[in-house]
Chains A and B, each alone.
Chain A
Amino acid sequence: MNAQTVNQIIDALALGSVYALFALGLSLVWGVLDVLNLAQGALFLLGPFVAYEVARALPMPLIAVLPIAMVVTGLVAVVLEVGIFRYVRRTVDDRKRRELTMLITSIGAAAIITQVVANKTGNTIFFIPHQVFQPVTYAIGKHVRVSNLDIILLVLALALGVALGQWVRRSRHGRALRAVAFDARRSGLFGVSADRLAAFTLFVSGALAAAAGVLFSLSVGGIDSTVGDSYLLTAFAVVILGGVGSIAGTVIGAFLVAGAETAVTAAGIGQWQNAIVFGVILLVLALRPEGIFRAQRTQRV
Chain B
Amino acid sequence: MKQRSIPLRGRVTAGALAGVVALSLAACSSTSSSSSSSSAPSGSSAATGSGHFPATIPVAYVGDQTGAAGYVGVQLLEGMQLRINELDASHFFGSSTIQLTVKDTQSNQQNAISLMNQVASSNALAVVGPLLSNEGLATEPIAARAGLPYLEAVNEDEQVLTMGNNIYRTTVSQLQYNPLTIPYLQKNGVKSVAMVYDSDNPTLVQVGTQQYPGLLKQANMSLVSSDGIPIADTNVASLASKIAGENPGAVGLMVIGPQNPDLITALRNDGYKGIIFGETAMQAGALKPAGALANGVVYPMDYTPSLTYPTSQAFTKAFEAAYPGTTPNAYDAEGYDTMTFLANAIKDAPAVTRAGLLKGMAAVAAKGFSGAVGPLKWFGPGNKNVSTPGVLVKWENGQETIAALG
User: What residues of chain A have their CB less than 8 Å away from a CB belonging to chain B?
Assistant: 3-4, 7-8, 11-12, 14-15, 18, 41, 107-108, 111-112, 114-115, 118, 122-127, 130, 135, 137, 139, 143, 145, 147, 219-227, 229-230, 261-262, 265-266, 268, 270-271, 273-274
Contacts and interface: CB of A to CB of B under 8 A. Distances in A.
Given A127-B289, A221-B264, A226 B18 contact: yes
B375 interface: no
A221 B261 contact: yes
A124 B8 contact: yes
Contacts of A8: 238, 241-242
Contacts, number: 151
B350 interface: no
Contact of B6 (A111, A124, A220): A124
B289 A266 contact: no
Nearest to B23: A111
A147 B265 CA distance: 12
8 contacts: A4-B245, A8-B241, A114-B24, A124-B4, A124-B6, A127-B288, A223-B258, A224-B257
Given A11-B237, A226-B257, A230-B232, 7 more contacts: A7-B244, A15-B235, A137-B270, A220-B234, A270-B233, A271-B230, A273-B233
Interface centre among B6, B23, B258 (most CB of A within 10 A): B258
Interface centre among A4, A15, A118, A225 (most CB of B within 10 A): A118
B241 A229 contact: no
B289 A125 contact: yes
Interface string B27-51: 1100000000000000000000000
Given A7-B270, A122-B71, A111 B24 contact: yes
Interface string B213-237: 0000000000001011110111111
Interface in B302-325: none
Interface of B: 4-8, 18-21, 23-24, 27-28, 67-68, 70-71, 199, 225, 227-230, 232-239, 241-242, 244-245, 257-258, 261-262, 264-266, 269-271, 285-286, 288-291
A261 B238 contact: yes
B289 A11 contact: no
A224 B258 CA distance: 7
Given A7-B245, A221-B261, A265 B238 contact: yes
Nearest to B236: A220
Contact of B258 (A130, A221, A262): A221
A224 B257 CA distance: 7
Name the 10 nearest CB pairs between A and B, nearest first.
A222-B289, A229-B20, A127-B289, A271-B228, A111-B27, A271-B199, A221-B265, A230-B232, A220-B262, A221-B261
A273 B271 CA distance: 25
